[in-house]
Amino acid sequence: MNQSKSHIVILPSVGISHLIPFVEFAKRLVSQHNNFHVTCIIPTNGPPPQIAKAIVEALPTTIDAIFLPPVSFDDLVANPLAPLTLTVSRSLSSIRNVLESLLSKTHVAAFLTNFFGIDSLDVVKELNIPSYIFFPSPATVLSLFLHLPKLDESLSSEIRYLPETMKIPGCIPIPAEDFPGGGTFQDRKGDSFKRFLHIGKRISSVEGIIVNSFTDMESGVIIALQDGAGANNPPVYPTGPLVQTGSSSEEDRSGCLRWLDNQPLGSVLYVSFGSGGTLSRAQLCELALGLEMSEQKFLWVVRRPNDESPSAAYLSDKSQFDPSDVLPSGFLERTEGQGLVVTSWVPQTQILSHGAIGGFLTHCGWNSTLECVVFGVPQIVWPLFAEQKMNALILVEDKKVALRPKANENGFVEREEIAKVVKELMEGEEGKRLGQRMGDLKEAAARALSKDGSSTASLSELASKWENVEAPKVE
């Protein structure tokens, strides 16, 4: 640890999809500003997954990583999402120990966490460390969070439900069904609204918010956020798109890259619902039949189906399984020359950057969205949970770089609709237009990260601020 450098501490919440953007931010910071050293504190609720270890092992020497002792949820068996939402709050004593140890050795200029780590801000405040939020979701969702306290105050206490459509500064109107949590978010007395209202109040008290987006991606929202900085909201620093870089240190065990090498240019649809997303068994089978019906080539990462929760893959068994146990009878045999089905971890950024990929059917997580932007891959969006419907709204209605299949009155997407949308993206005229617009967005992303780009300037402004922070002391 170099004591002459300003020290930055980052605390992602549990989960690989949260770790990656934090690490990429840290790598970008130390590569552009060599007077910083970063410590990444990683909360756990069990043994760290192999992919997390691989990411940590590949870090440069200017970034340290500390895995905290795992916390237990044996007392919360009935709460399947507890690991995602409560791991940080149950790790506060360990976080305090790490911070106090760092303060005894070095100058800590800033502490960054995300909205799932918001309880750690109390400890950070007690230690007099400047606190920041690293927001790994789009600026549109950040604007929604910051808008909620004002909206809540403006409504009569007798009005229980929010409007059917919400207009937040700089953003296209958001229908109720696209709010995080869907219709449950509308109920001001419900848990979803109360949780997000709490987040909105807490993040407005930090010294700055770093958002993983860039001006051309969400220009109206970012301008509105920056104009609103001051008395009510903290400064906002768009530094994206931050996506996983470099080749993975893990082998391509699935063989998907070798398979792609043998496919025609732009001919393959990549299908994945991320590290946490999954479908019901019936919808999984319908998707399979739709892909087969489309007659388009595909590379599909299949997760175990779950009829209870679309986010069940976060918590389910990650071991490999026989896909024939969950897919329609004979599907794998019939599509042997058309597609490749894998159930293991795959190197997604290497897949999306491969010349054979022509489109991505995605759950619309923000990491995957930005990876598509960086590599210029048009999308079919199939949002499942969290803020993914808002992300889909940005891509379909605002940026017009994605298609969205229509579900029936029961929320089920039928095979004919799937086949139609896949064919349109991969070989239709609308698919070509989407590809051209995504190509323009790819160029805009590259400009933002260039030497004189908007995101580079935003990071430099932040770094300059941190360089001038006096060393905090424990009271």
Looking at the fold, whether 104 and 233 belong to one and the same domain comes out as yes
pLDDT of residue 188: 87
Residue 1 lies in a domain: no
Residue 251 lies in a domain: no
Q: Residue 312 in contact with residue 437, Cβ under 8 Å?
A: no
Q: Could you report the average pLDDT of every consecutive run of 10 residues in the chain (475 residues)?
A: 80 90 97 96 91 92 96 72 80 97 94 94 96 95 90 81 85 86 78 85 92 96 85 89 71 82 97 88 97 98 83 53 92 96 91 97 96 97 92 94 96 97 97 97 98 97 91 50
pLDDT of residue 318: 55
Looking at the fold, whether 63 and 137 belong to one and the same domain comes out as yes
* Residues 104-122 as b or e (16 or more Cβ within 10 Å = b): eebbbbbbbbbbbbbbbbe
Count CA atoms within 13 Å of residue 364 on its CB side: 25
Q: Residue 402 in contact with residue 395, Cβ under 8 Å?
A: yes
Q: In 10 A of CB 360, how many CB atoms?
A: 27
Structure tokens at 110: 């800033």
CATH number at residue 213: 3.40.50.2000
> At a CB cut-off of 8 Å and minimum separation 6, what does 378 contact?
358, 359, 360, 372, 401, 402, 425, 431, 434, 435, 437, 438
Residue 82 lies in a domain: yes
Looking at the fold, whether 424 and 325 belong to one and the same domain comes out as yes
Residue 387 lies in a domain: yes
Looking at the fold, whether 138 and 157 belong to one and the same domain comes out as yes
pLDDT of residue 252: 64
Residue 185 lies in a domain: yes
Q: Residue 402 in contact with residue 380, Cβ under 8 Å?
A: yes
- Can you give the pTM of this predicted structure? 0.92
Q: Are strands 209-211 and 236-238 parallel, antiparallel or unpaired?
A: parallel
Residue 50 lies in a domain: yes
pLDDT of residue 251: 54
Looking at the fold, whether 229 and 323 belong to one and the same domain comes out as no
pLDDT of residue 315: 47
Question: What range does the domain containing 307 cover?
Answer: 256-446
Q: Which of 309, 369, 429 is nearest to 21 (CA)?
A: 369
Using CA atoms, how far apart are residues 18 and 203, in angstroms rounded to an integer?
A: 17
Looking at the fold, whether 437 and 463 belong to one and the same domain comes out as no
The whole-chain average pLDDT of the chain stands at 90
* Number of domains the chain contains: 2
Residue 281 lies in a domain: yes
Using CA atoms, how far apart are residues 64 and 1, in angstroms rounded to an integer?
A: 9
Looking at the fold, whether 220 and 110 belong to one and the same domain comes out as yes
